[in-house]
Structure 1
Amino acid sequence: MRIRATVAAASGALALSALAVPAAHAADGSSSYRSGFAKVFAQQASGHSAFSAASKPVGDLDVSFSDFKIAKAIKVGTTAHVSSVVSYKLTHGADVDVTSENFVTVPAIYRGSSTAPDNDLGPDEPATCAETSATTAVCKASIEIYPSGASSSELKNSQAGTWHGAAIALDFKAEKSSAQFGLATTLVQRNSKLTVNAAPEPVKKGRTITVTGKLSRANWETHKYAGYTNQPVKLQFRKKGSSTYTTLKTIKSNSTGSLKTTTTASADGYYRFAFAGTSTTPAVNATGDFVDVQ
């Protein structure tokens, strides 16, 4: 059941503007979680300071959250849908029935402060929960990210970096809710690409080899890859028959993300560029380009 359908069935119980419900799905099947999370954060955390560490739950529903687990980094490109599984422990009072059709819980990740997030992302479906005791359950859902299509405005380039975990529980019949922030952190990163070409091929031993390539990353606003400028990139070499790359030198990408350097041909082997990554962009290695040295 879609969260929106759940909310629609209980629309008389809670104000829709204050619920974490996703926007309607587009005709092509893509969807965005342009939900009411920002409003929930603002309303539930009103009067509280922004949470950088796990906060206490706020709201009038006897539910708290812990053990929030999410990938350390989520790589997002320009078009492909990305899904990242989240699990968390839900602890509730004896009067809360997590198996009721009136009960819904969803995780989210948000960028910025809990009181005024720049953005938030969540699941297409409510979390599924398995009871582990009379007052605890383990819940799972997937954070869904659609970088293109109907939800193309979902991410901005400036929002790459650290995001925080949150969770909310809603009881439509009791007209109560609980939200908790700062449960974990993850990096939402602009996916990277790296190419390499070593020439000439073949080449005589002792001659100069010119190695070129390009470092690029996803632009979430244009939905294309663009050069990642002024970044340190290592030129590495792996001798034929070896499994280990050795760094020859470090250069920087230019104003278009392009790379160019030279080295001396010494033996048959593979040349590649290697980028260590940043908080906003993941590490990436180019596929080695073989050069035959004669």
Structure 2
Amino acid sequence: MRKRVSAAVATGALALTGLAIPAAHAAPAEEEIKLSNIKVNGGKDVAIGTGNKKFTLTFDASHSSNIEANPSISAWKGSSGILLPDGFLRDQCKEVSATKSSCTATFNVNPQDYDIDNSEAGTWSTEVFISAQYPSSAYLDKSNIKSFKVLRAAKLTTNAAPEPIKKGKTLTVTGALTRANWDTFKYGGYTAQSVKLQFKKQGAATYTDVKTVKSDSRGNLKTTVKATVDGSYRYSFAGTSTTPAVNASGDAVNVT
């Protein structure tokens, strides 16, 4: 066992011998792996319905010895556990230069296969374990390189009637707002939500807001307006923390 020498003893020994002890040098730190340009689903929220949904996690990884081709990459939240990407451990990182690789993990998620329930809509995490090529011993083990939103996909419909309609008469606009239910694996009405009724005059480029309508206990929408000019009506939902925004297809009305 190496014993510790006190400063006083060491100083005395140096004074007697007149010898100098070389300064100690710390071992050079291992070069770190650097990640950049990290994106999930191209930077968009991931809206999952009742069937399969594919999305990607992409990033660039840099190191002087470059990166091993097969990192461990996963995504998760709550009880859903780890979602392994398609082709797990199969050349997910491709060299683009002597020091940089471009990495892609493709996830194919089905709520039934992964037992995802409604409570797990919201912010998810990503995890990566990646190592540099030999002879470097550098590796990166990070619990969340990028957080992202996983949302319950929504659908929205619009129907304006009667068509055609005389100018000044009352037009009834109905529709329905539904979203994916990951507990039943069906779409169900999204109740008590504020939805905008919008109108686009024939020949115009954009829709404008007309009024706000609340969805009923089954997600149904209904309101009336006075017919004035030819154009299209649609419902538009701004989204919530668990459900993405969605626009219905426009329903054209001919005013005579």
Q: Where on the TM-score scale, by shorter chain, does this alignment land: which range?
A: 0.7 to 0.9
Root-mean-square deviation (Å): 2.9
Secondary structure at 1:198 match in 2: strand
Structure 2's unaligned 5+ residue stretches are 1-29, 133-137
Match of 2:129 among 168, 171, 179: 168
Q: Counterpart amino acid of 1:166?
A: E
The answer for the alignment partner of 1:78 in structure 2 is 50
Say if 1:190 and 1:282, in contact at 8 Å, map to a contact too: yes
Secondary structure at 2:191 match in 1: coil
1:69 and 2:33 correspond: no
Distance 1:142 1:65 in 2: 21
1:131 Cα deviation after fit: 3.2
Deviations 1:160-218 (A, max 9, x none): 111122212479xxxx9852122112111111100111111222111111111100011
Distance 1:65 1:120, change over 3 A: farther
Say if 1:152 and 1:221, in contact at 8 Å, map to a contact too: no
Say if 1:169 and 1:178, in contact at 8 Å, map to a contact too: yes
Distance 1:135 1:291, change over 3 A: closer
Q: Counterpart amino acid of 1:69?
A: K
Q: Counterpart amino acid of 1:231?
A: Q
Distance 1:257 1:273 in 2: 13
The answer for the alignment partner of 2:68 in structure 1 is 98
Q: Equivalent pairs: percent with the same residue?
A: 44
The answer for the alignment partner of 2:106 in structure 1 is 142
Deviations 1:60-106 (A, max 9, x none): x9974622321231111112x22112222335686x9725xxxx313
Trace 1:1-294 onto structure 2 (pairs within 5 A). 64=33, 66-67=35-36, 68-71=38-41, 72-79=44-51, 81-91=52-62, 98=68, 104-111=70-77, 119-125=81-87, 126=89, 127-132=91-96, 136-148=100-112, 151=113, 153=115, 155-169=116-130, 179-294=141-256
Say if 1:65 and 1:167, in contact at 8 Å, map to a contact too: no
Say if 2:194 and 2:214, in contact at 8 Å, map to a contact too: yes
Structure 1 residue ranges, 4+ long, deviating more than 6 angstroms after superposition = none
The answer for the alignment partner of 1:22 in structure 2 is none
1:133 Cα deviation after fit: 5.7
Secondary structure at 2:124 match in 1: strand
Q: Counterpart amino acid of 1:220?
A: W
Q: Report which of the two structures shows the higher radius of gyration computed on alpha carbons.
A: 2
State the TM-score, normalizing by the size of structure 1. Answer: 0.66
1:107 Cα deviation after fit: 2.0
State the TM-score, normalizing by the size of structure 2. Answer: 0.75
Secondary structure at 1:256 match in 2: coil
Distance 2:33 2:118 in 1: 33
Secondary structure at 1:121 match in 2: coil
